Amino acid sequence: MTQKDQYKVHKEPFYQAQGNEVALFEAAYRNRLPVMVKGPTGCGKSRFVEYMAWKLGKPLITVACNEDMTASDLVGRYLLDASGTRWLDGPLTTAARMGAICYLDEIVEARQDTTVVIHPLTDHRRVLPLDKKGELIEAHPDFQLVISYNPGYQSLMKDLKQSTKQRFTGFDFDYPEAALEAIILAKETGLDEAASAQLVKIAQIARNLKGHGLDEGISTRLLVYAAALIKDGVSAQDACRMALVRPITDDADIRETLDHAIDATFA
C-alpha cells in the first residue's frame, strides 16, 4: 500500500446533505479554493469533509489542533538519528507533497502565530517554505486546505486573524432541521423514526438552553450515541441520561431540567 492509499477514504461515509453544500464544495475543489467549515461541535463538519474526500477520491490528512501545537507540528522538524539529524515532514508538508486534502480540525485552538504558516499555501502562491530545511515546496496540484472551527466558544482570545479568515471560502453548518436530524439518526443507527424524533426533541430542548448555563447544546453526535445505546437494548431514559445529559453539564439545575424533559418526552 502506498502512502497515498493509506490516507484514502475507502468506504463511503454516510452523509446526509442539508442543502447544496456538496455541489459547492466540489466547485471550490475544482478551483482549489481553501475551504473553512464553521459550526457547533458534533454537527457533522468532519463527516462532511471525510465524505467529500471520498467523493473526490482524494487522500485526506486530518490534524486535530490544540493550543500547544506549534508551526513545526504542522510543517515538520528535525529528529535525532544514528547518523545525526533527520528531517521529518509534518502533516501539512506531507499533504502538500502528495496532493491530499489537509483538514485542520478546530483551527482556533492553535495559537495565531502557528496558523500563519498556512498563509503561503492558501493564496495564489500555493507554496510552503520550510525555513529550517531551506526548502520551498510547490503544492501538488491536487492539494487543498480545509479548516474547521466552532464559533460557539469563540472568545476574544480564540479567533482567527482577519488575514487568515480572508483566505478561505466558508460553509456555515448547524444542527439539521428536526425532521432531517431524525432521519439522519435513523439512517446512521437503524433506530426507528419515532424514537429518533423524540431524541431530537430532547436535543432541541438543550439547544434552547444554550447561553443559560450550557455552552453548547446536545450535538448530533451525542444523539447518535444515545440511539446506539437504545438500539443495544438500554432503556430510552437511561440512554438519554448517559449519552445526552451527563456529558454536557455539571450544573445540577440544568441536569434536573433535562432529566425532567426526558421523563416528559418518553412517558
Partner 1 sequence: MMSEAETETPYQHPLMKAYWAQIDTHFKPVEDVFEDVMAEALVILTRDGLNAYLEAARVIGKLGRGAEPMLAFMEEWPSAAAVLGEEALAEIMAVVMRMQKSPNSRAITPFLQTLAPVARRLHSQELMRDYLDITLNFMERTTGSIHGHHTTFPSPGLPDFFVQAPFLLAQLSLVGLKNWVEYGIRNYRSHPERQRDYFTVQSADSRAVLQRERHGTLFMDVERKLDLYLHGLWQTSEQLVPYSTAFDDLRKPVPYYDKLGLRIPDVYDDAGEGFHRVAGIDRYRATLAHMVGHQRWTKPLIADNWSPFQRMAVEFFEDCRIDTLLIREYPGLKRIFLSLHPKPAEAACDPETTSCLRHRMAMLSRALLDPNHGYRDANLLSFVERFHDLLAGGESNTRDIATLALSYVTKTRRQSDQYAKVHFADTEVDYRDDNRQMWVFIEDSDDEEMFEKEKKRTPSEEQKGLPPRHYPEWDYKSLTYRPDWVSLYEVLHPKGNPTDIDRLLEKHSALAKRLKRILDLLKPQDKVRIRYQEEGSELDLDIAIRSLIDFKAGAQPDPRINMSHRTDGRDIAVMLLLDLSESLNEKALGSDQTILELSQEAVTLLAWAVEQLGDAFAIAGFHSNTRHDVRYLHIKGYGERWDDDPKARLAAIEAAYSTRMGAAMRHAGHYLGARQADKKLLLILTDGQPADIDVPDERTLIEDARRAVTELDRAGIFSYCINLDPKADEYVADIFGNQYTVVDNIERLPEKLPELFLALTK
- Closer to partner 1 by CB, 93 or 257: give it: 257
Q: Which amino acid is at 165?
A: K
Q: In what order do the strands lie in the sheet with 60-64?
A: 60-64, 101-105, 144-149, 35-38, 169-172
Single residue of 4, 77, 97, 231 touching partner 1 by CB under 8 A: 77
Residues of span 207-226 touching partner 1 by CB under 8 A: 208-209, 212-213
By CB under 8 A, tell whether 84 contacts partner 1. Answer: yes
Q: Which amino acid is at 187?
A: K
- Closer to partner 1 by CB, 50 or 73: give it: 73
Contact yes or no for 109/65 (Cβ under 8 A): yes
By CB under 8 A, tell whether 266 contacts partner 1. Answer: yes
- Closer to partner 1 by CB, 125 or 246: give it: 246
Nearest 5 degrees, angle CA 95-CA 141-CA 100?
25
Q: How far is the CB of 172 from partner 1 (least distance, A)?
A: 22
- Closer to partner 1 by CB, 26 or 113: give it: 113
Tally DSSP H helices, then E strands, for the chain. 12, 9
Q: How far is the CB of 160 from partner 1 (least distance, A)?
A: 17
| H runs (alpha helix) in the chain | 3-6, 21-30, 45-56, 71-75, 91-98, 112-115, 162-165, 178-189, 193-208, 220-231, 236-240, 252-265
Q: Give backbone dihedrals phi and psi of 140, rounded to 5 degrees, phi first.
A: -60, 145
By CB under 8 A, tell whether 66 contacts partner 1. Answer: no
- Closer to partner 1 by CB, 142 or 251: give it: 251
Q: How far is the CB of 57 from partner 1 (least distance, A)?
A: 34
Single residue of 4, 8, 55, 111 touching partner 1 by CB under 8 A: 111
By CB under 8 A, tell whether 254 contacts partner 1. Answer: yes
Nearest 5 degrees, angle CA 231-CA 265-CA 187?
35
Using CB under 8 A as the criterion, which residues of the chain lie in contact with partner 1 when the complex forms?
A: 68, 70-73, 77-78, 80, 84-85, 111, 205-206, 208-209, 212-213, 253-254, 256-258, 260-261, 263-267
